């Protein structure tokens, strides 16, 4: 086993630790770990990421269900348009992207480069949401009110983004649940994990029909991430999650900028 393989599997553990520590964000590292450390092509990497993110989020969601923090009605309203969009994106949209997208000033943008550049932009946007402290206090328990049209639109947008880049999209889902369904922050975070699990795993089904899956590798990588979640959950008792989230946000931003530089130069 080469050093990059060892780092790749260690990266799987770190992804889980980050998820366990700050409740999200770690999944955005999955694609870079798979592509740059384990030399998996971006299309397959985004598919594997959906499985890893879905399985990891499901573990967190089941834990939150025991604590009665999941709002199932909100999850259903958001999930239906999201999983239809992510499944359609993986089964039809991603395979339809041409290998050669366009050429600009002599630089050829291929399908793999395009996916990684788009992913890097999503990383930078996600990092800003992690770094930014809006200072809002947690909402008190209030009656859940649904803005159905906006929730459906948000679900479709998040589904398409998840389908293309293979990340969970929690940085988009949580604000939507707080603002559109008036959920308290803790319930929004818990409910978002269930939504991410459902739409990611259903999106992955669209890939099973199009790609050759290395199931042994995928199960090992996912198992390491899930172990990392429990390690992160334990460490969370001793580490300030808010400060860690900001620090991780800066790391994600640097990673996003690095990917843009690497793919362009």
Q: Cβ–Cβ contacts within 10 Å for residue 129, how many?
A: 17
Give mean pLDDT, residues 254-258.
Answer: 90
- Condensed to tens digits (0 to 9), the pLDDT of residues 174-199 reads 777 877 777 887 788 788 888 888 88
In this predicted structure, what is the pLDDT of residue 53?
A: 86
- Opening angle at CA 90, ends 212 and 150, nearest 5: 160
Q: Where are the domains of the chain?
A: 3-264
In this structure, the number of other CB atoms found within 10 A of the CB of residue 243 comes to: 10
Q: Which tens digits make up the pLDDT trace of 66-96? A: 888 888 988 888 888 988 998 898 888 888 9
Single pTM value for the model: 0.80
206-229: average pLDDT: 90
How many other CB atoms are there within 10 angstroms of residue 10's CB atom?
14
The answer to whether 60 and 195 have CB atoms below 8 angstroms apart is no
Separation between Cα atoms, residue 93 and residue 235, nearest integer Å = 40
Residue 62 has a CB neighbour count (10 Å cut-off) of 13
Euclidean distance between CA atoms 153 and 14, whole angstroms: 33
* Start-end of H helices in the chain: 3-22, 30-32, 42-66, 72-88, 94-96, 111-131, 148-165, 170-180, 185-208, 215-235, 241-264
Residue 243 has pLDDT above 80, yes or no: no
Please give the distance of CA 252 from its chain centroid, rounded to a whole number: 13
Instruction: For 144-171, write each residue's pLDDT tens digit.
Output: 566 778 878 888 888 888 888 777 677 6
C-alpha 174: how far from its chain's center? Answer: 12
Residue 157 forms beta bridges with which residues?
Answer: none
Angle at 48 between CA 245 and CA 19, to 5 degrees: 20
Q: What is the pLDDT of residue 139?
A: 47
> With the CA atoms of 235, 237, 240 and 244 taken in that order, what torsion angle do they form, in degrees rounded to the nearest 10?
30
Token match 């909100």: residue? 74
CA distances for 168 relative to 138, 147, 238, angstroms: 23, 22, 26
pLDDT over 70 at 34, yes or no = yes
């Amino acid at each position: 086993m080469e050093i990059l393989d060892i780092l790749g599997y260690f990266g799987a553990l770190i992804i889980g630790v980050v998820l366990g520590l700050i409740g999200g964000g770690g999944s955005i590292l999955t694609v870079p770990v798979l592509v740059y450390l384990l030399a998996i092509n971006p299309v397959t990497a985004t598919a594997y990421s959906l499985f890893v993110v879905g399985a990891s989020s499901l573990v967190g969601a089941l834990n939150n269900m025991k604590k009665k923090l999941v709002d199932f009605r909100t999850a259903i309203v958001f999930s239906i348009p999201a999983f239809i969009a992510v499944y359609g994106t993986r089964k039809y949209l991603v395979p339809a992207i041409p290998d050669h997208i366009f050429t600009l000033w002599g630089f050829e943008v291929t399908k793999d480069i395009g996916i990684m550049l788009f992913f890097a932009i999503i990383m930078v946007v996600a990092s800003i949401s992690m770094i930014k402290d809006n200072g809002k206090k947690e909402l008190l328990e209030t009656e859940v009110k649904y803005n159905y049209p906006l929730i459906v639109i948000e679900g479709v947008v998040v589904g398409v983004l998840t389908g293309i880049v293979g990340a969970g999209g929690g940085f988009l889902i949580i604000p939507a649940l707080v603002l559109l369904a008036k959920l308290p922050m803790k319930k929004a975070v818990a409910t978002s994990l269930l939504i991410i699990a459902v739409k990611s795993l259903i999106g992955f089904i669209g890939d099973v029909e199009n790609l050759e899956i290395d199931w042994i590798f995928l199960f090992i990588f996912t198992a390491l991430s899930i172990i990392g979640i429990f390690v992160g959950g334990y460490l969370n008792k001793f580490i300030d999650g808010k400060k860690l989230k900001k620090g991780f946000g800066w790391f994600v931003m640097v990673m996003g900028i690095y990917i843009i530089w690497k793919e362009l130069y």
